[in-house]
Structure 1
Amino acid sequence: MPAAVGMIETYGYPAVLVAADAMVKAGRVTLAKYESCASGRYLISIRGPVSEVKQAMAAGIEAVEKLPLSAKVESYTIIPNPTENIEAVLPINYTEEAEPYRVL
Structure 2
Amino acid sequence: MERYEAIGSIETFGIVYVLEAADAMGKAADVELIGFENVASGYISVLVCGDVGACKTAVEAGIKAVNDMGAEVYSSVVIPRPHPDLVKIINRYAITTAPEQE
Same fold (TM over 0.5): yes
Aligned-pair CA distance for 1:36: 0.9
Fraction of identical pairs, as percent? 39
The 5 Å alignment of 1:55-66 reads 55-66=57-68
Q: Which residue of 2 aligns with 1:8?
A: 10
Matched pairs, number: 95
Residue 47 in 1 paired to residue 46 in 2?
no
Is 2:66–2:72's contact at 8 Å kept on the other side of the alignment? yes
Is 1:18–1:64's contact at 8 Å kept on the other side of the alignment? yes
Q: Secondary structure at the match of 2:90?
A: coil
Is 1:11–1:41's contact at 8 Å kept on the other side of the alignment? yes
CA distance in 2 between counterparts of 1:32 and 1:6 reads 10
| CA RMSD, Structure 1 to Structure 2 (Å) | 2.2
Residue 19 in 1 paired to residue 18 in 2?
no
Aligned-pair CA distance for 1:93: 7.8
Alpha-carbon distance change, 46 to 92 in structure 1, aligned in 2, over 3 angstroms: farther
Aligned-pair CA distance for 1:86: 2.2
CA distance in 1 between counterparts of 2:96 and 2:47 reads 14
